[in-house]
Structure 1
């Protein structure tokens, strides 16, 4: 690849591959609601005894302490548990550790047995475990931790398998668009669960948060196994024209499944390390903002989030919107040959790392202004998601055969960054609230800038030699 993709091919808005992206969007929406739902439900589960969870709690653990409303407004007759803050932190963190366990092996497995089976199985298992969570809570906190860990393992399977599908379904000129449509489901799902989770707990009882979104996940599984196929050649409903367009636009793929992964070549590949560094930087700041958003608003602006559940969901509307629009813009620049592929990847990586860094640095100085602070808090996750058209899909360029495996590795770096940044944030703000928040945002901006410089220096889009070879060096 010379850095400029070939011309040809329509946008595919009414194509089957766009339909696949929408199915993935719904699947990602179901997964994230199942992940974040406990953060809202636990307000009712402990009946007002909730306190901030451990710093390495999952996304939104602190974010929804007040989202479900006051304890006295909760529906009577639902079970209540005496879980300490330490116990709650363990429950929240368990899903992250489960995800880490399966991110890398599931990406490799998806390349062998097919992403349809791996991702579909992950979605199904996660949905069933969500339905089982209320019963597990009655049986004991240990079982809840086990359930959440197993659910994390299932979700790790579901997140990474998607890129194996796009390696065979997404023409180069449509990769940003299709992956952004699919990926935006996570941000939109977070918005949905924040808006309706508290209402469900109040009107029906907290178990229905798990019953409703677990059932939605099961419905998505039916749609998934019906519509999704690993390869366009095998899809029974695809048109001949679309099939020929996809196949002709992609590099030839080996007919037989690979039996080994060139680990040594990957470890020495600087373009891959540029992608991993980008993921680390991206997840560092995003975790700080998502996890500590309500804490920051409450401590700095003195706003009670019980009276404004929509407030904490606004950043995710911006994130979902910017993900889709960024993908559309990236593919527009490529299809019109306005910029080379390497320029597009580095441009969107720069925007997705630099713009939120500037907003983060400006936050401490905007504290006296309510409007400016909220604007910056909304812009950070929104502009961060421009990275989806940059280094986040770069594995499809440099090593499409190993895209899911490498995505698992990259997300592993992101999860590690999330745990580190949440822990560092908790430590810094515990020392001093005012200077602590300033140091948190300055540190996050520094990490982002480091990741950006590294990616701009070593990022590439050419398929690497070790990704072209059919016979691979074994460990």
Structure 2
């Protein structure tokens, strides 16, 4: 199903479609600085920061929520002290005491693994519906409500924990259901807002908010846990998410045609640059051709494989820092956050570099996406392997973990935005499909980590890192061989549909 590569940008060899128009290469392009499309990217960046803050707060808080003195003897044996305390540390991570009146729970590593994966059980089921409805009606309302409702539910976490792990599991599943629509909604918005030559930088800017949110929330959660207690983490995250939602509903719009503050010049530029592919899809979508599309399956497999290592570290890295490296809570939060600072910076740089390579026609879109996937996935795998050989060397272990996720950020300009290359009109729906499969590691990886590390030993964590590295390599190979950056034939509408869409867009510009 792959379309042959060409030297032009996003061009498939179909002669009669209005989709296959040359991109605007005029110098008369409204500046991106202070533009409405950049403001949208900044708002989405902050929204994705909230999405990940609401997602990862439990990863750090879990260390404070669990009373390790009440665990089974096998988990408090001398085997848990495989590594010495960090340099300059007097007490390490144990015991971790909460302020008076803050409850702690005797949850073993398997229970913790299930609780950390609970979010993704719900997240799995709303990706495709969210992408479909966002593509039909626009993503603004779905992105805003997804964050707002998740933020409100987050504030009930302390109550659910007191009621028992089953209640907390159910709450986290519900949060995942609500948040599952956010990334497909974001992709649907960019299908209507992002000019093709600016896609990489705008989408990586907004999407990198996830890494920035993890970077900020992990150390902040550690500080809050150690000073005023773990319940405050959930109250503050929930309140911040609600505040962001207010700004989003006031200043954002699903389409440049309906934005109240955009200039006529910028609106016309965006609409003309994107063309008919910037319109929403109808009720029917070409499901069977999608399922038979090799480039789409390359994205799916690439996303599954890259997400395995990402979610392994996102959900379980604070536990590794506590159980093996023996860092105190404040150091734990900061060091667990370092990889995401690196990934955020890497994603930002990758988006700009990718756009420049495409704009200057150094490489085709296909080559650019594959190049960044290779850099992100293979480099990430090599540093994960190095972590397992670093053993108890605190400096090397933290350095390799940081480099693994940092260089892995290059994948943001590859697998994670490739849907809009191959089918702009259906980008939100496709992201729903790929993210549904990509959520599976979020469910399985924490559970697998819990089983592999149930004895809280260094050997168990070495197996975790080897497994993640091997899966990363698999994803790199599959995407490099089968991926594509060209619009697929099934993503191009019929001539009548294209003509109607073009008339609607032209009428909007003239009015």
* TM bucket, shorter chain: 0.7 to 0.9
Structure 1 counterpart of 2:500 = none
1:352 aligns to 2:356 (yes or no): no
Q: Is the 8 A contact 2:426 2:491 kept in 1?
A: yes
Which among 443, 448, 468 is matched to residue 492 of structure 2?
A: 468
1:247 corresponds to 2:268 = no
- Classify 1:430/1:36 alpha carbon distance in 2 versus 1 (closer, same or farther; 3 Å): closer
Q: Partners of 2:113 and 2:464 in 1: how far apart?
A: 21
1:114 maps to 2:138? yes
Point out where structure 2 has 5 or more consecutive residues left out of the alignment: 10-22, 73-91, 498-511
Separation in 2 of the partners of 1:256 and 1:19?
Answer: 22
Q: C-alpha deviations, 1:216-239, integer Å up to 9, x for none?
A: 101111111111111101111001
Residue number in structure 1 paired with 2:290 = 266
Quickly say closer, same or farther: Cα 1:202–1:225, change in 2 above 3 A: same
Preserved contact between residue 334 and residue 341 of structure 1 (Cα < 8 Å): yes
Structure 1 stretch 337-346 or stretch 182-191: which is displaced more? Answer: 337-346
Q: 1:342 to 1:209 in 2, by over 3 A?
A: same
Deviating more after overlay: 443-452 vs 166-175: 443-452
Q: Give the aligned partner of residue 18 of structure 1.
A: 38
**2:56 corresponding residue in structure 1:** 36
Equivalent residue for 1:189? 213
The alignment covers a number of residue pairs equal to 456
Is residue 94 from structure 1 mapped to residue 118 from structure 2 by the alignment? yes
Q: Which residue, out of 221, 226, 249, partners 1:225?
A: 249
Task: Encode CA deviations 1:272-296: one digit per residue, 9 max, x unaligned.
Answer: 0111111011112223333443555
Aligned match of 2:408 in 384, 399, 407? Answer: 384
Gaps of 5+ in 1: 53-67
**C-alpha separation in 2, matches of 1:277 and 1:10:** 37
Local SS of the residue matching 2:180: helix
1:4 to 2:27 alignment: no
Q: Distance in 2 between matches of 1:437 and 1:84?
A: 16
Q: Which of 413, 428, 438 lines up with 1:414 in the alignment?
A: 438
Confirm or deny: 8 A CA contact 1:170 1:178 kept in the other structure.
yes
2:181 equivalent to 1:157: yes
Partners of 1:148 and 1:442 in 2: how far apart? 28
Is 438-447 or 320-329 further displaced after alignment? 438-447
SS of residue paired to 1:236: coil
Larger RCO of the pair (alpha carbons < 8 Å, separation 6+): 2
TM-score when scaled to structure 1?
0.87
Task: Report deviation, 1:304.
Answer: 2.2
Matched, 1:394 2:398: no
Partner deviation per Cα, 1:136-155 (whole Å, 9 max, x = no partner): 44455444333221111011
| Whole-angstrom distance in 2 between the partners of 1:13 and 1:269 | 37
Change over 3 Å in CA distance of 1:78–1:147 after alignment to 2:
same
Cα deviation for residue 197 of structure 1 reads: 1.1
Please list the CA deviations of residues 388-424 of structure 1 after superposition, one character each: whole Å capped at 9, or x if unmatched.
Answer: 1012101001111211121122122222234444445
CA distance 1:127–1:422, shift in 2 (3 Å):
closer
Question: RMSD between aligned alpha carbons?
Answer: 2.9
Structure 1 residues 95 and 19, CA gap change in structure 2 (3 angstroms) = same
In the alignment, does 2:456 pair up with 1:452? Answer: no
Quick one: which of 68, 71, 75 aligns to 2:99? 75
Which of 173, 180, 185 in structure 1 is aligned with 2:197?
173
Displacement of 1:259 after TM fit?
Answer: 0.7
Cα distance in 2 for residues equivalent to 1:257 and 1:266: 14
Secondary structure of 1:402's counterpart equals: helix
Farther off after superposition, 273-282 or 304-313: 304-313
Structure whose alpha-carbon radius of gyration is higher: 2
Q: Distance in 1 between matches of 2:351 and 2:71?
A: 39
